[in-house]
Amino acid sequence: MTICDADILEVDLPNVTTLAEFCHGMLASLPRSDQRRWGEIYVRGLVSVPGRKSIRRISELVVGRDADQSLQQFVNQSPWSSEQVRRSLAEHVNQALRPTAWVVREVVFPKNGDNSVAVARQYAPPAGRVLNCQLALGLFLAGDNGSCPVNWRLLMPRSWDDDPERRARSRVPEEERSQPRWKYLLDMVDEMIGAWGLPTAPIIVDLDSDGDVRPLLNGLDERGVGYLAQVPARMPLLPASLVERAGGSTRPATVGELAAVAAKHGGLTTVSRRDGATGELSRSQFVITAVSGTTRHAGAAHGRGFRRARHVLAEWRSGQQRPRAVWLTNLGAAGILDIVGLFRARDWANDDVHRLAEESGLRHFEGRSFQGWHHHVTLASVAHGYRLMRTLGQQRRSGQWLRFYE
């Protein structure tokens, strides 16, 4: 059986009518016509092949003949730029979705064995345990009606830095070395703002398992980028503030303690909201308070002013004594409702990580090379982007809208 255009539901999309046309725009940077043809076939397989989207199954169901070797060569060895395809996808998604946030998600790629690029037995924060896996950061453009990953970084374990045999076998570029997560993230931000020229949106990032959040938050401040960063409630304030303790002693306050004091003296704001992806209604109480010692500052990073004033935002669920979650943000002037409104974008990105795995074959890469991994996750993002464009077209035609607040 060969899957063709007629087997895929096509709708009117912004500037696109078919999967072939969508791929034509996304893959225009590939220098050769045969690369663009195999790219479209691979994306078509990621969109339409049921179950595991292996190269063999894509060959059988999309091409209709044995084309395994050609597809393998295209994904793993063909010299085309993932960055250019990601830029095209980002520009298209940005125009169609009008993102309200850039959401950072760490993604786990479980693996058997130790031959795949950057694989190691390591702690995986999304899973909360040690796994044999690859870890990656995906940056999603996210809005009120969906999200799409447009940039990726594969986190290189330290054990790979001094293993020339494995690096050569997986064709890891010399400059790719283990580094803190915050450096990978700032590198993506710089690429998207500088090289791609995308308009910025607040960055939502989970730093709950990070030891030191200062390098990232300071880096975003210096770039004039807004952020909403989830942090541990026990984390000392940045910069350190002092709170009076029983007996007159003092010590640095934690973000959780500051939020609790603000909730006690300033009261809580109750917000009812719907999950961006599921539509589920929930009710929480929030408080926001300024972190003493931070100041509002004007700068010229990337041609824009930026603020250094930081606030703590905390959420309580009914009946809880301690906050459910705590964030540091430089968006304090926006107010609670505007900041909590960004959770809709976060909900979409969180849900879309699972959609990418189940529907677009994100974790189905069969190769071992650094370049092949980046090619695959880029084309999986294109497949997801096509699904997003299709859904947006359906929503806009039907006038479908889901209220965030009740």
Q: What is the pLDDT of residue 369?
A: 95
Range of lowest pLDDT (153-162, 249-258, 394-403): 394-403
pLDDT confidence of 16, banded at 50, 70, 90? low
Cβ 287 vs Cβ 314: under 8 Å: yes
Q: What share of the chain in percent tops pLDDT 70?
A: 86
- pLDDT tens digits, one per residue of 92-121: 999 999 999 999 999 999 999 888 999 999
Identify which has the larger pLDDT, 5 or 65.
65
pLDDT tens across 354-379, in order?
Answer: 999 999 999 999 889 999 999 999 99
Report pLDDT digits (tens) over 306-328: 356 899 999 998 777 788 999 99
In the block, which residue shows the tokens 């961006």?
A: 276
Q: What is the DSSP string of 278-333?
A: T--EEEEEEEEEEPTT-------GGGS------EEEEEEETT-SS-SEEEEES-GG
Domain boundaries, the chain: 5-202+347-398, 203-341
| pLDDT digit string, tens, across residues 190-203 | 999 999 999 999 99
pLDDT bin (cut points 50, 70, 90) of residue 189 is very high
One-letter amino acid identity for 370? F
- Please state the rounded mean pLDDT for residues 263-267: 83
End-to-end CA distance of the chain: 48
- Look at residue 3 and tell me whether its pLDDT is greater than 50: no
The DSSP letter of residue 113 is: S
Q: Which of 227-236, 246-255, 270-279, 371-380 tops mean pLDDT? A: 371-380
The CA dihedral of 260, 264, 269, 272, to the nearest 10 degrees, is: 60
Residue 213 has pLDDT above 50, yes or no: yes
Mean pLDDT of 149-157: 98
Tell me phi and psi for residue 18, to 5 degrees: -135, 165
What secondary structure letter does DSSP report for 67? -
- Residue 233 and residue 323: Cα distance in Å, rounded? 8
Nearest CA to 105 among 42, 224, 185? 185
- Name the phi and psi angles at 162, rounded to 5: -115, 35
Q: Which of 192, 25, 20 has its CA nearest to residue 104?
A: 192
In contact, 92 and 99? CB cutoff 8 Å: no
Q: What mean pLDDT value characterizes the chain?
A: 86
Under a CB-based contact definition with an 8 Å cutoff, are residues 27 and 39 in contact? yes
Q: Please determine, for residue 243, whether its predicted confidence score (pLDDT) is greater than 80.
A: no
Does residue 245 surpass a pLDDT of 70? no
Cα 182–Cα 185–Cα 186 angle in degrees, nearest 5: 85
CB 349 within 8 A of CB 103: yes
Tell me the pLDDT band of 11, cut-offs 50, 70 and 90. Answer: very low
| pLDDT tens digits for range 114-129 | 889 999 999 999 999 9
> Is residue 295's pLDDT more than 60?
no
Angstrom CA distances, 94 to 42, 97, 297, 354, 391, stand at: 24, 5, 29, 21, 15
Q: Which of 90, 98, 97 is nearest to 138 (CA)?
A: 90
Confidence of residue 277 (pLDDT cuts 50, 70, 90): low
User: Regarding predicted confidence, which is higher, 300 or 133?
Assistant: 133
State pTM to two decimals.
Answer: 0.88
pLDDT of residue 400: 56
Give the model's confidence band at 29: pLDDT under 50 very low, under 70 low, under 90 confident, else very high. Answer: very high
Q: What is the pLDDT of residue 13?
A: 42
d(CA 50, CA 361): 10
Q: What would you report as the CA-atom Rg of the chain, rounded to the nearest whole angstrom?
A: 23
311-334 in b/e form (b: 16+ CB < 10 A) is bbbbbbeeeeeebebbbbbbbbeb
**Residue appearing with tokens 């009261």:** 267
Burial class (CB in 10 A: 0-12, 13-18, 19+), 52: exposed
Query: Residue 268: pLDDT above 60?
Result: yes
Instruction: Give the pLDDT of residue 238.
Output: 61
pLDDT of residue 366: 84
